[in-house]
Amino acid sequence: MTGDATPPLRQSAGVFAAISRIRQNATHFTTSFFATPEQTQGWLDEGVLSCAESSGCLLVFRRDRDFQHLCHVADSLESLSEALATLALPAGGGAAYTADLVGRLEQTAPVAGVYQEHGFRTLTTLFRMFRLAGSAVMDYQPDPEVVFAEPADVPMIAAFFDRLLNRFVDQIPDRAQFLTSAEQRAILLIRRGAEPGGVLLFENVGLTTLLRYWYVDERFWHDGIGGRLIRTFLHLSGGSKRILLWVIADNADAIAKYRHYGFAKENLVDQIMFKRWRNE
Amino acid sequence: MKTIVEILKEIRPEFDFDTSRDLIGDGMLDSFDMITLVADLEKTYGILIPGVDIVPENFRNLGAIQQLVERCAAKP
């Protein structure tokens, strides 16, 4: 089974109808597909999303650079296992799959076990941290060097992310997503010459703000850029009830920084499973 | 036995769930929180929430969640 195994869907309604079919009579429903209909339609319009439906399971594939994000919607772990057993080299592009399993660890562990039975391994585990409204903003002073990225900055920022981030783990935005974020004034930037010294990208959802990325070029790690970015961000996020972020579970330095700025750990993990095909 | 509000407070202590009519639209609950909430509701009330009921409409506000729990508890 691959992303091209069934006729291509054109409308997100078709995807969600398939999900409804799976949900019917599901006794041990499991899913890793959390996209909204709007997101789904956007991916369909771009031609990067495809699905394969089997008895009791829908696999959703989303092409990203040289690999595919794999999500499942299944009525039981048995149905999921049967579907994963038919996976083959991604025909839609790339030679690897990643699958994000989100939930409490006791919920993701049995699902991860099914993926492992079919050749996946745990690439890394993230956990979610949150910061409550009303937490003190430390030492905020208006900082003229912290600016909102402009749409014209997008190519530079995209190149910065491509260089620093792990494409299998970090769900790097595409150019269109960067552009939308810039237009929404959701990318903070400190420039160093013609390049970003540091970038912070966030997303507002109702009363919640998601801190998606906070990166400083390694050449400027000790210049205070990161602190200036996040203090400005926390000041700007004063109207949010909570700020959320995901952090790699064993990244002690990052976790210590987040704790310093008032974030606390949640009992929610993202276990990232990975499978690469080798042409042997 | 814990109430639904108490369960919600354990998941998201920062929000006042009594006042919101749209927990999802207000950003108080997201898809990931729903996963946790389903597990906690099933454990607390000894119910099974079928997959077909795990949709945003059933978690939109306290009343919707209450109805969902009652519906699942009434099933044999």
What integer pLDDT is reported at residue A137 of this predicted model?
A: 61
Domain ranges within chain A, ordered by starting residue = 12-125+271-276, 134-240
Domains and CATH numbers, chain B: 4-74 (1.10.1200.10)
Rounded to 5 degrees, φ, ψ at A122 are: -75, 115
Distance from CA of B51 to the nearest CA of A (A): 5
User: Interior CA angle at B30 toward A184 and B72, to 5°?
Assistant: 155
H helix or E strand, kind and range, residue B65: helix B62-74
pLDDT tens-digit series, residues B3-59: 999 999 888 877 888 888 888 888 788 888 888 898 889 889 999 887 778 888 899
In three-state secondary structure terms, A46 is: helix
Fold match between A12-125+271-276 and A134-240? yes
Q: Measured between CB atoms, which of B12, B35, B52 is closest to A102?
A: B35
Residue to test with chain B: of A19, A23, A128, most B Cβ within 10 A: A23
Note whether B28 contacts A241, CB cutoff 8 Å: yes
Query: Do B50 and A128 lie within an 8 Å CB cutoff?
Result: no
Nearest to B32 by CA among A109, A168, A108: A108
> pTM for the whole thing?
0.85
Q: What's the CATH code, domain A134-240?
A: 3.40.630.30
Q: What is the pLDDT of residue A134?
A: 67
- The whole-number pLDDT of residue A129 equals 94
What CATH class has A12-125+271-276?
alpha beta
* Closest Cα in chain A, distance from residue B36 (Å): 7
pLDDT, mean of each 10-residue run, chain A (280 residues): 58 88 82 88 92 93 91 95 88 80 91 97 95 71 94 96 91 91 97 95 89 95 93 89 92 94 91 80
Listing DSSP states for A232-260 in one string gives: HHHHHGGG-SEEEEEEETT-HHHHHHHHH
Instruction: Report the pLDDT value the prediction gives residue A121, as an integer from 0 to 100.
Output: 97
Nearest CA in chain B to A207: B27
For residue range A128-175, list pLDDT tens digits in order: 999 986 666 666 788 999 999 999 999 999 999 999 999 998 989 988
Question: How many C-beta atoms surround the C-beta of residue A33 within 10 A?
Answer: 20
Note whether A206 contacts B26, CB cutoff 8 Å: yes
User: Which residues in chain A are closer than 8 Å to B36, comparing Cβ atoms?
Assistant: 103-104, 267-268
A20 touches chain B (CB under 8 A): yes
CA A218 to chain centre: 23
Cα separation values, A180 from A149, A240, A243, Å: 11, 20, 20
ipTM over 0.85: no
